[in-house]
Structure 1
Amino acid sequence: MATEPPRVKLDARAVPAGTTVRFVLLVVLMLASSSSMLLTALTAAGLNEGFRCLGAAGVGPGETPADEVLHSAAYQACIAEHGSAPWWVEPAVPAALLLLAGGLFLALPVWRTRRSRAVPLATVDPDGRIGRQLERLTDLAGLTRVPRVVVDPFAASTGAAVFGRNGRPTVRLHGGLLTRRAVAPEDFEAVLLHELAHIRNGDVTLTYATVALWRTFVAAVLVPYAVGFGLLFFHAYAPETRPFEIGLGAWRALVLPLLMTVVVYLARSDVLRSRELHADLTAARWGADPRVWAAVEPARPARALPRALRSFTELWRTHPRWDSRRQTLTDPAPLFEVPALLMFLTGTAAVLVNGQLWQLAGRSTPPLAGAWDITMALPPAALVTGVAGTALWRSVVHRLLTARRRPSGARAGLWLGIGMTVGELFGNRIAINKWLPGQSVVVLLVLLVGVAFAWWVTECSHLWATVWRGRTIHPPMALVLAGAGLALCAWFWWWQDFGVVMANIPGLLTDVLGPGFPGLPSDPAGEYGAILTATAHTVPLLGTTVAGPLTLPAVAGLWVVPLLAWTVRPHPSGWARRAAPGIEASAIPAEPLPPLRRALLAGLLGGAVCWAGVAVLKARMHSWPPSDRPRGTAPALLFQDGACAALLVGAAVAALAASLLIGRYRLVAAIVAAHTALLAGHAGVLVLSASDGCAPALASFTSGCDWRPVAVWRGFQYLLSILLVLVTVVGIAVASAVAVARRVLRRPSRPAASAPAGEGARGPARRRLAVGVLCAGAVAVPAVLLSVPAPSGGNVTAQQPAAPPWKQALDAYGRAEDWYGLGGRDLMVRYSTVLDELRALGAEATQSPDGDAMVLTRLPSICVAFGKVARDAEAYFPVPDPQLLPSWRTFVTMAARGSQDCLSGLDRNDNDLVAAGMREFNQATGAVDSISLWVTASRGGSP
């Protein structure tokens, strides 16, 4: 029979609770949303569309507009019509929000005191007994001074409350509590200790700052946002007003604040509930009688549906239910678990923060545009790491010391990924003018990133908690969270620059990337054309993964951080005894780490596969007959493709072997083994390629024996950067596949093997030497790749695109949206309306006996309308696409000329001149049709 886990009460202070980071998450979400939402509200009301005039003029984000654009009549007219908020509005809105919240924070204690008509404690305590008891409890709580105490004599309840701020707290006692003091003094003392615990835990400032920020956010941000959209709908449906277009984007912008409001409120409630539970535990640790919590009448058992409804309503409460509080006092395990709601809210809030910053960056001035990359990526990465990472660490530590089953992190990561996905889908950047993104598969990357993050943090947490010897667990916790935060920051950097465009624009991989790099053989002979064409499309796509400067350091951290754990001799009793007071030394789990040599041997096996693959490739190229050998740069490209394939296969073999041999730390082992195989295999590529010709059977490019390591390094430098990322992905994918297969087959993981007996001091020394060598390679290779610029010529595959196609596509989309929204749609709708009137007139005239009179009566107004559209189009911006400028000129010229010829022919009774005007209208219509197709394609299929 399985033994029951020991009843160990883990001190809730052993690992940071993370509630402060959750509060920071709320603050950052509110501040990032305040500017964007208010400006969006002004835009929806038609009061702040002027910032889009530069986009309509063909100026992309971050580009400096030319003087002729700024001084053009079209730009001045656009600004005058649509208006634009001053530049200082965006930074002023968060500052104003903080000032208003700060004022409310200072006013809340005064208002609460006056509202309740509270009196000082001395008024109802003439003999000073309550004051002396309060002083004793204050000393017990470790506070430096007695807090200010007031009494609400009209409150009949037996509760109390603390408000103000940590430096100057105020405890308000209810009149019913003083009355009960004579009957049940232990109840009075428990309530006081609970309120003093709030002060000791630093809850007062954060709690009332949360309340002040929330109320200010509702009044100063959400209400103006609702008013702005109310004006939009009024202008859209009110009679005798110019109609505005209410498209899908407007509806999404209306749904976004609703989602954000729910996220903020639920996160706020979660923070406050958690602090109440921690205050209960602190009060009980100081000697509060637990029977006070048990004295409350327990809730009656409920059926399934009411129980589910009660659990749902619990999410919105700022105070936990009494049965939850009693359960926490009995066993604080729920405080150390990873709630699905917390992970979901964290993922959603982080993505919403990133999205709001992304929108602000789109309106950034050119000097600030480059600095926005790190500004957009760092806050959400830090918040996810602080909230979700801390929760995972707490769960691992608690389960380790209570001998419970170690969590895998997959479930928590799944909820984190779902939250991030929901945040993206409800945001207005990956699915503009439609509900679902153009490339829905790309959005799955967001879900998988959440799972990989939680899985890696969980394994590294257990790894370090097992071997750490320090007094507290905080140093390894900081190391692991730093590595996870760096990787997540690199992910957000890539996603906001490239992933957003990939998810939003359908067909981007084939339409935007085009034929590849200039100079690539477009029609190579024989069977290698498909390989070279795939290279032309794949390399630019994969090259985006290393476009950010944080990618390679993040990849290095993913396997250096867990590797360092093998340099520490396992002995967790130091921090464990402080985390679980009273625990026996024999009860502290001392799980040995799996032998590092297993992962290293798997990596060397993968490296040998790489060497063998490259040797077979060179032998194959050596055997090519001269008539079948590709010409030009094709042989070099084919060798690079084959070598990269060999490296990836070797890394996959190493990851598979390590995942099977080391089941407890499957993900960590797979990543370490895969990167070890890559380093060993790339060394083989350098050796075999630099000595090309020395072995006649493997000579591929030259027959003379010479040593050329520099040339080979330059040829693979750019590809090695990409391979470092791909190998990490391969390791995660292989470990996931093995984990899923074992779960399906229901086979337990291989238990960790202890170090062999009699290993002595040489065992740790050898491990540290091996770890040192691997860490040196993990850090040195990315450092060299980042410090040495990639070659600008010679190797075709190593050349990066001169202009990133992702940025081009995103900028083109924004310019098309601005041009269409600020006047292009109005011109095209007006032209289509006049054209329909002309066609209807022609059909009626052919069927009516007095058709000539009908034409002479109604045709002049139609021709005048064509001329008015042409003049307004001449005064507006041209189409912001160089390829469509001829069509735009044809439209403007032919519409104006047709109007003039039509009117002149009618005045002179010249049918030929009128017919010429009709032909010119047809030419203008063809040009308009071309522009309409461009608009539909640019806006994702929405005309």
Structure 2
Amino acid sequence: MTGTASPAGADAADPPGPGPGVDTDQWRRRLLTGPDVVPSATTLRFASLVLAVLASTGSLYGYMALLVHTEAETRAAACMKTVRLPGVAKGTSPMTDTTVVLRCTAPYLSSITLWSLTGTLLVVVAMMLAYAVTPWCILHAVHPGPGEGSRWSPVRLWRRAPRLSRRGLHLLRDNYPDQAAVAARVEQLAERIGLEARRRPRCHLNPYAKDTGARAFGYQRRTYLILHLGLLKLHRTDPAAFDGTVLHELAHLTNRDNRPTYLTYAAWRAYLVLVVVPFLAAFFAPGVFLHPADPGAYHLRARLPDTHSALSLVLLTGLVYLTRNAVLRVRETHADARAALTDAAAVLAFLRHGPWQRGGRLPEAVGHHPSAARRLRDVRNSAVLYRPGATAMFAAGMAIGLIAVNLGFSGWIAFLTSPRGQGTPLIEILMRLVNGTPATVILAQVMVLGPAAAVALLLIAGMACVTMWRARLGVAHGGKPPAPWRAGLALATGVLAALPLSVIYANAGTWGVFGDGAANTVIVVVLTSLTLAVIVIALFQWAAEAAAAWIPVSGSSLRRGIAASVILGTLGAAPVFFTWFAIHGNVSITWVQTGPPAAFIRHWPLAEATVAQVVALNYLSALPGCAILMALPVLYVAAGAARRSRTTAPAWARAALGPDARPIRRPSVRARLRVPLIAGLLAAGLAVAIAFGYVIVLRAVVGGPGLLAHRGDDLEYLMMTTEWICIACCGAAAFITALHSTTGGRLSPALLAALTAAGLTGLVMPAPVYVAVCGSRAWTCATNNPTTYGVLFGISGTTVAVQGTALGLCAVLLARTTGALLRRRPGPGAGGPAEAGDRKSAPTARTPARRRALATVLAVLVMGSLAASTIAFSHYVLLT
């Protein structure tokens, strides 16, 4: 092998895996630059771009459906201003916005849906066609180099205009010594960087470009490399800079980012041509779409764009543009990192030699190409490879928010056009959803809003899991992991910011929950935003803990672990997210049922507290199987923590690092599982003891006959007090567990403790009620009327599990704050429940067999209790 060698970057000098004296940067670059081990950052941002394009296209085309029919737009706008629910002023009803929009757009629902679907299909087809012809266009429409002069001077722009080459660019010719030498050197560099022979590029020369640039492109199996004419001279005068230039382009092929890159270019061009231009035409000349053959249709109508329309177009187009630039920026950073593995000195020479534009903070943050100074910093610091970008998360959140609301609107359309909804006044349908039986209300809302909520949550979970698995893999052998709350907060903010820009609000001419500045809507905005932020941040934190638990023990592929995390995270967060999606943006999210207790029990302890109920939590508790779904992701993390440590490197590490890769260190499992299990057991025992003691004392004070005097009031009181006792004990168990965990993995252990306490107490919670009411005849009362026991068991079991878990989540936040105040910090290198935070434990430490058996028995018992309470609740409460 010939050419410029670099002691710092040659493959032979790279250690195969992390170990004593090993450069952690080499480990990160090998595992995180390409898509072989985990999805690459380029793929992640490209997914955000696809979501942004689809969501923006659907929203703008849905609005165009009204713009092209001027009478429809006028009538709908007038209807929006006048229609309100009877007796409701200024849109304070939870159903007001939905009712107004659906009633006023009802005559145009099919047209709106058709336009949205047609526009989305056109953009997708155009994007794929543009991508298919991209290699031919690049080879035949030749772009010269940058030339001289100012950036926007006419001479420079003319010189940069593409030249059409009839035959296309020719290959490097062997009969020219300089071109033959360059071709041989490119082949050597392709072999050094690890590019397979079948994927090595065909080298073409661009004689029109006098600079020292290069460009790699093509499909996955047929790739091309265009070398500008100036590189021939650079190969003679500065071989290191030449090697760095070529290695950077070959790194794009090694990272396999050429497909998402040129799909990104195609998506942006298709969006401009098929979305932005038609939207402007529909706004100023709508007759073009209805009567294209009429010359009068092309006369622009004099009108000023309303604020909502203009802002929607600008923000949605800006979203697509910024997401496009994020894809293009991150691919350059990862290509530099991959090339530096082969020859770091050559890459540094290339970055110093290139004619880069100087940029400030704003161009670096939103531009399509990072500056030379930024690239030099990033190539020396591999932490940039795994840190989630807040801007990318915000853009992904906006796209997900648009898709969620648009799909929710489609769900309403499908419901209104179904046999159940046809011919029924809209107000009657909405009131029937609110005032029906619990089973019918839940079923109807799941049918209408379930698909939209499921798609949105699946996308959020996918972003969270891929991002946090990459982050945890980057710090598996040292380094401080990124805070999950930063990425989660950025994504949640994007979801909230996208809601007013969707089809439903654009057609209504309103900003939804953000539209009114009245004081009575401030609390709605705050609770809507805060609740979503907590849900998304908790999902990111859980994804980080799942990655930390499973990365050291995953054998064949990390992609399977990521897929399992996405599925379980979606299932676990589904009840909570669906509840938020069903009530967000309206006053029902603030509803708390209060009122004076019955006169008979008014003097009893905590009588006022037992009457107060949070409607959102009650709705969450009424969802069948909610507790079981919430327990699945927690048990998944516990299962990963309980697995035996690997004594050899996993297959995915050997494939990326070589056969001599070392296993990933992990702490002792014993310290992670013992605390939540013990805390849950103690909390369950304490809750049962307090509940029995409380009802015994109450029976002694009030007297047995007194508890039987008003069966409805006192029975509800007894159920509520015993439930609150259990819920408080669940929160205490979560708080103690989270406070004890100092390595950052607080969420899963704390929720495991809360669920353990809830599952065990749910089995015996009806017993204190029977003891209070029947005294020594409690067993006889229970056996004589098993239906009553089923009702009590179903209500208590589901309520304690769901609300105890919710309180446990609050306890985690409190424990984290308390731990920060007490200055409890993790040790060096500790960042999660499965990282090397316990330096005393050997890499082969594992949970003793007895403790694993006990954990298995407890898990089966808890899941069995939750399943039994779900069945009882569904049978005795929902379906009766």
TM-score category (smaller protein): 0.7 to 0.9
**Matched-pair contact (CA < 8 Å) for 1:47–1:84:** no
Match of residue 437 from structure 2: none
Task: Measure the CA separation in 2 of the matches of 1:525 and 1:291.
Answer: 86
Task: Measure the CA separation in 2 of the matches of 1:549 and 1:23.
Answer: 37
Match of residue 826 from structure 1: none
Say if 1:99 and 1:47 are closer, same or farther in 2 by CA, change over 3 A: farther
Match of residue 155 from structure 1: 209
> Which letter maps to 1:404?
G
**Matched-pair contact (CA < 8 Å) for 1:658–1:669:** yes
Task: Measure the CA separation in 1 of the matches of 2:841 and 2:464.
Answer: 39
**1:258 Cα deviation (Å)?**
2.9
Among 457, 476, 488, the alignment partner of 1:413 is 488
**Matched-pair contact (CA < 8 Å) for 1:717–1:785:** yes
**1:528 Cα deviation (Å)?**
6.8
Task: Measure the CA separation in 1 of the matches of 2:480 and 2:626.
Answer: 34
**Matched-pair contact (CA < 8 Å) for 2:62–2:112:** no
**1:245 Cα deviation (Å)?**
13
Q: What is the CA deviation profile of residues 744-794 of structure 1, one whole-angstrom value per residue up to 9, with x for unaligned ones?
A: 232335999979999x999521222123223324443454455566246xx
Among 569, 573, 579, the alignment partner of 1:494 is 579
SS where residue 226 of structure 2 aligns? strand
Match of residue 390 from structure 2: 340
SS where residue 158 of structure 1 aligns? coil
Task: Measure the CA separation in 2 of the matches of 1:186 and 1:299.
Answer: 12
**1:101 Cα deviation (Å)?**
1.9
SS where residue 318 of structure 1 aligns? coil
Say if 1:361 and 1:703 are closer, same or farther in 2 by CA, change over 3 A: closer
**Matched-pair contact (CA < 8 Å) for 1:532–1:634:** no
Among 338, 344, 368, the alignment partner of 1:282 is 338
Task: Measure the CA separation in 1 of the matches of 2:512 and 2:599.
Answer: 37
SS where residue 763 of structure 2 aligns? helix
**1:406 Cα deviation (Å)?**
4.5
**1:672 Cα deviation (Å)?**
1.0
Match of residue 543 from structure 1: 618
Among 707, 713, 727, the alignment partner of 1:634 is 713
Q: What is the CA deviation profile of residues 492-524 of structure 1, one whole-angstrom value per residue up to 9, with x for unaligned ones?
A: 4222222x2xx33379627xx899xxxxx9955
Task: Measure the CA separation in 1 of the matches of 2:105 and 2:536.
Answer: 43
Task: Measure the CA separation in 2 of the matches of 1:761 and 1:745.
Answer: 30
Q: How does 1:158-197 map to 2 (within 5 A)?
A: 158-197=212-251
Match of residue 651 from structure 1: 730
Task: Measure the CA separation in 1 of the matches of 2:814 and 2:105.
Answer: 56
**Matched-pair contact (CA < 8 Å) for 2:589–2:616:** no
Task: Measure the CA separation in 2 of the matches of 1:185 and 1:366.
Answer: 69
What are structure 2's unaligned runs of at least 5 residues? 1-19, 87-102, 143-163, 287-299, 419-443, 506-510
Among 321, 329, 333, the alignment partner of 2:379 is 329
Among 375, 396, 416, the alignment partner of 2:451 is 375
Task: Measure the CA separation in 1 of the matches of 2:410 and 2:723.
Answer: 40
SS where residue 61 of structure 2 aligns? helix
Say if 1:530 and 1:355 are closer, same or farther in 2 by CA, change over 3 A: farther
Q: What is the CA deviation profile of residues 405-434 of structure 1, one whole-angstrom value per residue up to 9, with x for unaligned ones?
A: 445523333333333343346664751642
Say if 1:772 and 1:410 are closer, same or farther in 2 by CA, change over 3 A: same
Q: How does 1:33-48 map to 2 (within 5 A)?
A: 33-44=56-67, 46=70, 48=72
Task: Measure the CA separation in 2 of the matches of 1:508 and 1:595.
Answer: 37
Q: What is the CA deviation profile of residues 576-623 of structure 1, one whole-angstrom value per residue up to 9, with x for unaligned ones?
A: 964984999899644223152222111111112211222133214423
Q: How does 1:196-207 map to 2 (within 5 A)?
A: 196-207=250-261
Say if 2:685 is the partner of 1:608.
Answer: yes
Match of residue 505 from structure 1: 587
Match of residue 555 from structure 2: 470
Task: Measure the CA separation in 2 of the matches of 1:550 and 1:211.
Answer: 45
SS where residue 470 of structure 1 aligns? coil
Of 273-282 and 415-424, the range deviating more from structure 2: 415-424
**Matched-pair contact (CA < 8 Å) for 2:206–2:227:** yes
> Which letter maps to 1:399?
V
**Matched-pair contact (CA < 8 Å) for 2:38–2:558:** yes
SS where residue 475 of structure 2 aligns? helix
> Which letter maps to 1:602?
A
> Which letter maps to 1:613?
I
> Which letter maps to 1:740?
T
Aligned residues: 744
Match of residue 349 from structure 1: 399
SS where residue 874 of structure 2 aligns? coil
**1:671 Cα deviation (Å)?**
0.8
Among 530, 535, 539, the alignment partner of 1:444 is 530
> Which letter maps to 1:373?
L
What are structure 1's unaligned runs of at least 5 residues? 61-76, 233-240, 516-520, 793-797, 803-943
Q: How does 1:761-776 map to 2 (within 5 A)?
A: 764-776=848-860
Match of residue 831 from structure 1: none
> Which letter maps to 1:32?
A
Say if 1:397 and 1:111 are closer, same or farther in 2 by CA, change over 3 A: closer
User: Percent of pairs identical after alignment?
Assistant: 22
Q: What is the CA deviation profile of residues 509-556 of structure 1, one whole-angstrom value per residue up to 9, with x for unaligned ones?
A: 27xx899xxxxx995534079978876772654232256567444301
SS where residue 658 of structure 1 aligns? helix
Match of residue 728 from structure 1: 805
Say if 2:454 is the partner of 1:431.
Answer: no
**1:313 Cα deviation (Å)?**
1.4
Say if 2:758 is the partner of 1:678.
Answer: yes
Task: Measure the CA separation in 1 of the matches of 2:245 and 2:203.
Answer: 13
Say if 1:453 and 1:122 are closer, same or farther in 2 by CA, change over 3 A: closer
> Which letter maps to 1:279?
A
Q: How does 1:107-126 map to 2 (within 5 A)?
A: 107-116=133-142, 117=164, 119-122=168-171, 125-126=174-175
Say if 2:606 is the partner of 1:557.
Answer: no
Of 132-141 and 205-214, the range deviating more from structure 2: 132-141
Whose radius of gyration is greater, 1 or 2? 1
**1:260 Cα deviation (Å)?**
2.8
Q: What is the CA deviation profile of residues 82-117 of structure 1, one whole-angstrom value per residue up to 9, with x for unaligned ones?
A: 897276433322112212222322343333333314
Match of residue 104 from structure 1: 130
Match of residue 663 from structure 1: 742
SS where residue 144 of structure 1 aligns? helix
Among 13, 31, 36, the alignment partner of 1:12 is 31
Task: Measure the CA separation in 2 of the matches of 1:80 and 1:419.
Answer: 29
> Which letter maps to 1:12?
L
Say if 1:671 and 1:707 are closer, same or farther in 2 by CA, change over 3 A: farther
Among 683, 688, 694, the alignment partner of 1:617 is 694
Task: Measure the CA separation in 1 of the matches of 2:59 and 2:758.
Answer: 45
Say if 1:255 and 1:717 are closer, same or farther in 2 by CA, change over 3 A: farther
**1:687 Cα deviation (Å)?**
4.5
**Matched-pair contact (CA < 8 Å) for 1:294–1:326:** no
Q: How does 1:702-781 map to 2 (within 5 A)?
A: 706=783, 711-748=788-825, 764-781=848-865
Q: What is the CA deviation profile of residues 132-155 of structure 1, one whole-angstrom value per residue up to 9, with x for unaligned ones?
A: 555555555114155344322111
* TM-score where L is the length of structure 2: 0.73
* TM-score where L is the length of structure 1: 0.69
**1:393 Cα deviation (Å)?**
1.9
Say if 1:653 and 1:197 are closer, same or farther in 2 by CA, change over 3 A: same
Q: How does 1:379-394 map to 2 (within 5 A)?
A: 379-394=455-470
Q: How does 1:913-928 map to 2 (within 5 A)?
A: none
SS where residue 824 of structure 2 aligns? coil
Say if 1:549 and 1:108 are closer, same or farther in 2 by CA, change over 3 A: farther
Task: Measure the CA separation in 1 of the matches of 2:826 and 2:248.
Answer: 45
**Matched-pair contact (CA < 8 Å) for 1:694–1:706:** no
Say if 2:312 is the partner of 1:262.
Answer: no
**1:674 Cα deviation (Å)?**
0.9
Q: What is the CA deviation profile of residues 847-889 of structure 1, one whole-angstrom value per residue up to 9, with x for unaligned ones?
A: xxxxxxxxxxxxxxxxxxxxxxxxxxxxxxxxxxxxxxxxxxx
**1:343 Cα deviation (Å)?**
3.0
SS where residue 225 of structure 2 aligns? strand
Task: Measure the CA separation in 2 of the matches of 1:663 and 1:702.
Answer: 46
